[in-house]
Chain A
């Protein structure tokens, strides 16, 4: 057996190892039995998901949180990346990685402590707004890193050319730099959206009574024993998130 084939086999085995659990999940989401033995094709678990008020409410919450936090994180993160690019601030850029490698549970606890401290001075409680704030916080680092990568490939003289032709700094950013960054910004936003939609640990720490998200519902259901409805909703998430990730990757390499 030659080297190329061996490497190919190893790669195939790795992919199987990675994706077989997902495939099993998706296959059993169409199983008519509630047990992990194939009985026949059925969409009843998908129907069950659609009939589950709590799950629909949680999905709606997750979408709102992901959408709002992505908009803010994309805006703030893009400006931050732009500022660091202009000022060439390697320390600031490096500090972003700290927020990426901080264990989620630590980020969650610190955010909770921060909110509790704030509550002494402001009449607010944990809820959608705290979840959204938390998600903006951890999404910004991802946005900055993706947008910064795009900026590194951008011709630095483009802005000078814009100024030279009579644009002020604001117009140069708005009409020249930003349009050239857009693929990177969208890629970053898609990434932030998926990370927000997925998040359990931080969300569970800072969520209130009205802000149960889909991962929290799934976690609660899974603890009571795996219902095939969980498979169904998980399969929908896998496919949805997969599409977003592929789109994000494509845009990053455009």
Chain B
């Protein structure tokens, strides 16, 4: 059985720039896949080529093994949850959900709508127009509208960015649970590395139109392919040829014997973050390192003499960026 979606050397040239350059990737059925990257990296263009809103300049988009690259959006079994939800304002929530079913002439309309309303927990609000729904409710209806067509792949363009931060965390876990429940392949576009890592089975980190690294969240976080990837996924203390992430650096008042991986330092600044402290300490060679310290430890004070140490396996060995 072919993978549900495969991109083969897909490129997209616009008159002014090249948005996507020779991107290849394979997504297995039932996975939650994240396209991650900073704005302008080509992730949205990639999504739009899968949806059918953009035709690739070259390359193939294989859905269940057949090339859909030249097909219009309405001839591919792929649906989208738009960033702003794009609910039809003149239709009720229920009519929005029915829209796709009616276009396809699907039977058992009412039953399907009822099921999907149940799935997104929006029973009882189906007669409302979008203007009378909250942001979170609009998102649920947008999800229901896309899911009810039972697509081979569901695309989500920055699905959480329009929600307020508190709701975002809750919806994030609901989204993952929903994906597991329906078993449909989800592709989520996001610029938020935490969101991508928490949600996805696999992540493609894009940069300047190409895939900088493809792998599981653990893979790309712990074994980044280059310094761009390492820095994009979280802070790194670069110490010449290698780097160590703040949470992997330990700080102590014990006078441990010093060496390559245990160095004397003096505390510069201490920042309280609620659940932890960020302590910045200056090494004897003049470099500063940031470490994460549990709130439960006795707080460090500026100018305090300390040792910072780490394990060899936490070192990220990457040459500095040439460009």
- Show the binding face of A for B, using Cβ within 8 Å: 155, 157-158, 160-168, 171, 175-176, 179-180
Contact = CB atoms under 8 A, between A and B. Distances in A.
B80 A161 contact: yes
Contacts of A165: 74, 79, 99-100, 103, 145-146, 149
A180 B84 contact: no
B319 interface: no
Sorted from nearest, which 8 A-B pairs have the closest CB atoms? A165-B100, A166-B103, A161-B86, A163-B73, A157-B86, A179-B90, A164-B80, A166-B74
A167 B88 contact: no
Among B52, B86, B100, residue most surrounded by chain A Cβ atoms (within 10 Å): B86
What's the dominant secondary structure at chain A's contact region? Answer: helix
A167 B102 CA distance: 9
Interface residues of B, number: 23
Contacts of B79: 164-165
Among A155, A157, A164, residue most surrounded by chain B Cβ atoms (within 10 Å): A164
Interface string B142-182: 00011001000000000000000000000000000000000
A180 B86 contact: no
B100 A163 contact: no
Interface string B32-75: 00000000000000000001110000000000000000001110
Contact of A160 (B53, B89, B146, B149): B53
Nearest to B148: A165
Given A165-B145, A165-B149, A168-B74, A160 B82 contact: yes
Nearest to B103: A166
B149 A166 contact: yes
A136 to B, nearest CB: 28
Given A164-B79, A165-B79, A180 B53 contact: no
A43 B89 CA distance: 49
Contacts of A160: 53, 73, 80, 82, 86
12 contacts: A158-B89, A161-B87, A163-B72, A163-B73, A164-B74, A166-B74, A166-B103, A166-B104, A166-B149, A167-B99, A168-B72, A171-B103
Interface in B86-106: 86-90, 99-100, 103-104
B73 to A, nearest CB: 4
Nearest to B48: A160
Given A157-B84, A165-B74, 8 more contacts: A155-B86, A160-B53, A160-B82, A160-B86, A161-B82, A165-B99, A166-B104, A171-B103
Contacts of B104: 166
Nearest to B145: A165
A35 B79 CA distance: 74
B73 A164 contact: yes
Nearest to A158: B86
Contacts of A157: 82, 84, 86
A161 B88 contact: yes
Contacts of B82: 157, 160-161
A157 to B, nearest CB: 4
A155 B84 contact: yes
A166 B100 contact: yes
A162 B99 contact: yes
Among B78, B99, B145, B146, residue most surrounded by chain A Cβ atoms (within 10 Å): B99
